[in-house]
Amino acid sequence: MKIFRAILTLSAAFASAVLIPSARAEQKSGGESLPNIAVTEQLIQKYLSAELSFQRGDKFAAYSTMMSLARSLRDPRLARRALEFAVSGSISGEALKAARLWREIAPQSEEATQSLVGLSISSGRLDEAKTVMAQQLAASPPAALPNTIAVLQRQLARVQDRSRAYALLRELLEPYADVLDARLTLAQAAMVAGDRAAALSDARAALAKHPSSELAALVLAQIIEDRAESIQSLVNFLQKNPKSREVRLAYARTLIEQNKVDEAKAQFAQLLTHHPDDRTTLYALGLMAAQAGEMREAESYLSKYIQTLGDQPDRERDSTQALLVLAQIAEDKEDTAAALKWLEKIEPDNQGSYISATLRRAMLLAKLKDPEAARALLQQAEVRNDDDRAKLIVGEAQLLRDAGRLDEALRLVADTLELNKNSIDLLYEHAMLAERAKQFDLMERELRKLIQIAPDNQHAYNALGYSLADRNVRLQDAFELISKANQLAPNDPYILDSLGWVEFRLGRLEQALKTLQRAYEIKADAEIAAHLGEVMWTMGRQDEAKKLWRSANDKDPKNETLRTTLQRLQIKL
């Protein structure tokens, strides 16, 4: 009974809101003229009867009563409510009647019109839909016509018979063929219908009528099937419209796809003359310069790109990529303060880049002899999951390790593993720290557990195999482990280095030489050079070995493996 009273109270309130007139004779709501209604007890009872029927599940009775009210009072709100009842009750034929009445009462209402068109289409009454759509087009002022056309296109996309929908759209839009949006809509619809010839005809007609339209040029280029002809159409447009931004961007991107980087850069540079603060252009030129090793240009373009952003995010492209490149440029120039400045701009919203940037910031702070600030940065960073937290713990452990605090590093990782026992990052780091502490049983135990959790993790097989080979123990086990890693990642230079090293330990000098040479061809790394040189030295090719070691030492004089190899063999370069 209480529930019934609550429904009655709410319905009465709703009825009052709908039916009680204002002081004005007529109001407008969403394009609807609202009548002045004399509210009587009989009227309220009839309205409440409809609402209560709906509440009880008798939706046809609710619809019938509300339709009766809407017809007699000519109130669009009541027609709309009748439509809601019919749709809710899946009374499709009656819903169409309600929509017709709603639009009849409120012909200027966009919502009523869309409802009628949608229901006409869904019930297969395309002729009725066409009539209403034609009226919509005729009533649209020129400024609103593009939006009306777009709405019609979306509505007709719901028609099951694609060819019928296309024919209907063409029939509706032909009277507006001189309107750019109408002609381009027909071109795109023709492509969807599989009529490329009609699409080309429409697109060319649009461009002929609107020769400076970038949209027409882009649609035409998209429709032209022959790649060279499509590109030439962009070139032709640019010759007549040299300041065009969108078409020149499209042309530049096409050149990049064809690997014509220099030509693409020329197009972007020309864009910059007309649009000096264009973010897309600055970003593209900056990244292309970085990829080409032109770091001064990259820094200039990317720093200006970041400057144009101000405090606003770039919703079209990933600005973190630019910040990471700028930070790397600063690092290469040994400008640690500048590198930190760029990295600080990377927000936690981009969690992957944020974690990487935070780790780099910590490394740079440690480089500035401030390891505690580096640790504090990692401890205070915003993290959203256990995997990211594990990465930061690994970073902190490496800071402790590099500071000579190996026991603290081991303890930190071990404690964190208690909370996240199956973390691949933590297990791997714990194993590497254990190896450095010469706790080889612990190292192997952690790597074996990692392999059990992630049997396709090539790094675990490689690390365990290399450790055995480097200590010259259980060489056959080492060979099998590294071979498995090589099977999982066949062209990884570091795994090939491990494979060559265990082959050397097994006395297979010729095979070791070939494997290490292949590894060094892929990546000219100082550690690989140390191993390759030792194989050469053992095979009596001392001059080649020394030449290789000198080259590696020039590039990386602090490499630990190279230094210990030269010391062990008592070689002076």
Q: Residue 376: CB partners within 8 Å, gap ≥ 6?
A: none
pLDDT digits (tens, 9 = 90+) for 389-442: 999 999 999 999 999 999 999 999 999 999 999 999 999 999 999 999 999 999
Q: Give the domain-ending residue among 123, 150, 177.
A: 123
Residue that the structure tokens 């959790």 belong to: 453
Q: Give the domain-ending residue among 75, 106, 123.
A: 123
In a domain, 535, yes or no: yes
Smallest CA-to-CA distance from 365 within 336, 335, 342 is with: 336
* pLDDT above 80 (res 34): no
Cα three-residue angle 59-90-10, rounded to 5 degrees: 35
Structure confidence at residue 542 (pLDDT)? 95
Q: Residue 96: CB partners within 8 Å, gap ≥ 6?
A: 116, 119, 120, 123, 125
Structure confidence at residue 317 (pLDDT)? 84
What confidence tier does 32 reach under pLDDT thresholds 50, 70, 90? low
Distance from C-alpha of 546 to C-alpha of 27, rounded to nearest angstrom:
95
In a domain, 91, yes or no: yes
In a domain, 55, yes or no: yes
Q: Is the dihedral of CA 489, 494, 500, 503 positive or negative?
A: negative
Whole-prediction pTM value? 0.68
pLDDT digits (tens, 9 = 90+) for 356-375: 999 999 999 998 888 899 99
Distance from C-alpha of 276 to C-alpha of 304, rounded to nearest angstrom:
10
Structure confidence at residue 38 (pLDDT)? 67
In a domain, 498, yes or no: yes
Structure confidence at residue 410 (pLDDT)? 97
Mean pLDDT, to the nearest integer, of 232-236?
A: 96
pLDDT digits (tens, 9 = 90+) for 279-327: 999 999 999 999 989 999 999 999 999 999 887 878 888 889 999 999 9
Which secondary structure element, helix H or strand E, spans residue 28, and what is its range?
strand 27-29
In a domain, 451, yes or no: no
Quote the percentage of the chain above a pLDDT of 70.
Answer: 94
In a domain, 262, yes or no: no
For residue 506, the domain's CATH number is 1.25.40.10
What confidence tier does 89 reach under pLDDT thresholds 50, 70, 90? confident
What confidence tier does 11 reach under pLDDT thresholds 50, 70, 90? very low
Per the model's pLDDT, the better-predicted residue between 35 and 212 turns out to be 212
Distance from C-alpha of 43 to C-alpha of 496, rounded to nearest angstrom:
88
For the chain, the domain total comes to: 2
* pLDDT above 60 (res 27): no
pLDDT digits (tens, 9 = 90+) for 322-353: 999 999 999 999 999 999 999 999 988 877 78
Phi then psi for 165, rounded to 5 degrees? -65, -40
In a domain, 537, yes or no: yes
244-253: burial string, b at 16+ Cβ within 10 Å, e else: beebbbbbbe
Q: Which of 81-90, 460-469, 505-514 has the lowest mean pLDDT?
A: 81-90
Give the SS3 label for residue 157: coil
| Average pLDDT of the chain to the nearest whole number | 90
* pLDDT above 50 (res 12): no
Q: Give the domain-ending residue among 123, 147, 164.
A: 123
Domain extent for 504: 484-573
In a domain, 549, yes or no: yes
Rg (CA), the chain: 37
Cα three-residue angle 54-60-66, rounded to 5 degrees: 70
Structure confidence at residue 30 (pLDDT)? 52
What are the Cα distances from residue 248, in Å, to 281, 284, 515?
A: 10, 13, 48
Question: What's the number of CA atoms in the CB half-sphere (13 Å) around residue 300?
Answer: 7
* pLDDT above 90 (res 538): yes
Mean pLDDT, to the nearest integer, of 464-487?
A: 97
Q: Which segment, 38-47, 232-241, 343-352, 564-573, is predicted with the most confidence on average?
A: 232-241
